[in-house]
Amino acid sequence: MPKPCANCNSRNAALKRPKNGALICRECFFDLFETEIHETIINNNLFKPGDKVAIAASGGKDSTALAHIMKVLNERYNYGLDLYLLSIDEGIKGYRDDSLETVKRNREQYQVPLKILSYKELYGWSMDEIVQQIGLKNNCTFCGVFRRQALDRGCEQLKVDKMVTGHNADDIAETVLMNILRGDIGRLERCVDIITHDEGGFSIPRAKPFKYTYQKEIVLYAYFKKLDYFSTECSYSPNAYRGHARELIKDLEQLRPQTIIDIVKSAEQFEFTNETISEDSTVKKRTLMNCVKCGYISSQELCRACVFLEGLNKGTARITLYSSHGQARAGREAMAKEIEQQSSSSSQTDAASTPQDKKPSQDKSLEW
Ligand code: SF4
Ligand SMILES: [Zn+2]
Ligand SMILES: [Zn+2]
């Protein structure tokens, strides 16, 4: 016999909520799910009326659900936000080209303008070409560094005040665990912030409305709402280290669903001081500056994207990867000095230029 919904007690329960096991009806699930995200937005002052907000959209379920819910909540609660979709085309045939088609459909479904920026256009290299040079090991490190900067450049071109990403509670719990396992205190400190931004640079604040939302609930929501999303994995192997952290958290979630939110809440309580990092630690908290080559916010004279690009252009990207991890610091500093001298002898320095030799046309990929 069907059980009544534990929330409204009038309709039949249709699902078991992944985060707490409550048996509820579909309508109550939609209502609770959307209200909880609205409360996260309000309690953390994620936006102010009139903000222009870019939704980082990959076509996957998290970002598609985010685009849908931002649109719904913005209208229901009169946030007064001006929404945009922002997508990055890494240049991965059979994966990103197909998922971008989904984002283009989302643009029509939600009536939200879309901007697409490609690695090829920004850096002169697609991920397919990068993988041809560096192979399938560490490709995600290149991709992650390039994507972070590409999203910032997209936000800059859209002139938005904020960007929202689909990072959910599971992603954050994984990242907390990974940073603990790697002893990366700097990232551990930042990874649970609901809004992250780099002071002093032009990096756009990034907000995570799904910070307390379980992955499984996003999947259920997207499924019951029949959202149009792309579910194929990237053809280049996903980050193996994160995969292990993910498996561990999934196993723990099976035993105790509360584990995910408890990891996030515990990490929120961590306190960091300069003494947290020992004198001889290779892990240091970041002092931020602007990259001497492209002007992007960086913790070194040269940002990682410029170091990686230098390696790709010289055909030494594999070596560069290890250098960027701190093993050839002297070489990196010498490279930065050389560029600094070149730019000071030049009469014009464009602090916001992209890390490739020629700055691309600003409006080339505007798609609306
Ligand atoms: S799996 Fe790796 S290569 Fe593929 S899109 Fe993600 S970061 Fe890029
Ligand atoms: Zn109900
Ligand atoms: Zn740079």
DSSP string, 259-283: HHHHHHHHHHT----GGGS-TT-S-
Q: In the Cβ-directed half-sphere of 268, how many Cα atoms lie within 13 Å?
A: 13
Do 208 and 293 have their domain in common? Answer: no
Note down pLDDT in tens along the chain; length 368 residues: 889 999 999 999 999 999 999 999 999 999 999 999 999 999 999 999 999 999 999 999 999 999 999 999 999 999 999 999 999 999 999 999 999 999 999 999 999 999 999 999 999 999 999 999 998 888 888 999 999 999 999 999 999 999 999 999 999 999 999 999 989 888 898 899 999 876 555 578 999 999 999 999 999 999 999 999 998 888 886 667 788 899 999 999 999 999 999 999 999 999 887 665 554 444 555 677 888 998 888 878 899 999 999 999 998 877 666 655 554 454 455 555 554 455 444 433 333 333 333 332 222 222 11
- Binding site membership for ATP: which residues? 56-58, 62, 88, 166, 171
Do 326 and 245 have their domain in common? Answer: no
* 353 within domain boundaries: no
Do 142 and 267 have their domain in common? Answer: yes
* Residue 181: count of CB within 10 angstroms of its CB: 12
Structurally, the chain folds into a number of domains equal to: 2
Of all protein residues, the one whose alpha carbon is nearest to atom 7 of ligand 1 is: 140
- Report the separation in Å between the CA atom of 4 and the middle of ligand 2, taken as the mean of its atom positions: 8
3-state DSSP assignment of residue 37: helix
pTM of the model: 0.84
* 354 within domain boundaries: no
* 241 within domain boundaries: yes
* Residue 294: count of CB within 10 angstroms of its CB: 23
CA distance 148 to 249: 25
Question: According to the model, what pLDDT value does residue 149 have?
Answer: 92
* 183 within domain boundaries: yes
The encoded tokens of residue 19 equal 């985060």
- Report the separation in Å between the CA atom of 60 and the middle of ligand 1, taken as the mean of its atom positions: 13
Do 197 and 100 have their domain in common? Answer: yes
Helix (H) or strand (E) holding 87: strand 82-89
* Residue 216: count of CB within 10 angstroms of its CB: 17
- CA-based end-to-end distance of the chain: 52
Domain that holds residue 152: 26-273
Helices (H), the chain: 26-43, 61-76, 96-110, 119-123, 127-134, 139-158, 169-182, 185-190, 215-224, 240-255, 259-268, 304-314, 317-322, 329-345
Do 105 and 33 have their domain in common? Answer: yes
Of all protein residues, the one whose alpha carbon is nearest to atom 3 of ligand 1 is: 140
The encoded tokens of residue 308 equal 């990686």
* 18 within domain boundaries: no
**CATH code, domain carrying 75:** 3.40.50.620
Do 242 and 120 have their domain in common? Answer: yes
The finding on whether 140 has its CB within 6 A of some atom of ligand 1 is: yes
The finding on whether 94 has its CB within 6 A of some atom of ligand 1 is: no
CA distance 172 to 353: 32
**What are the residues facing 253 on neighbouring strands?**
none
* 224 within domain boundaries: yes
**Cβ atoms of 164 and 151 closer than 8 Å:** no
Do 190 and 215 have their domain in common? Answer: yes
- Report the separation in Å between the CA atom of 264 and the middle of ligand 1, taken as the mean of its atom positions: 24
Do 150 and 253 have their domain in common? Answer: yes
Do 111 and 165 have their domain in common? Answer: yes
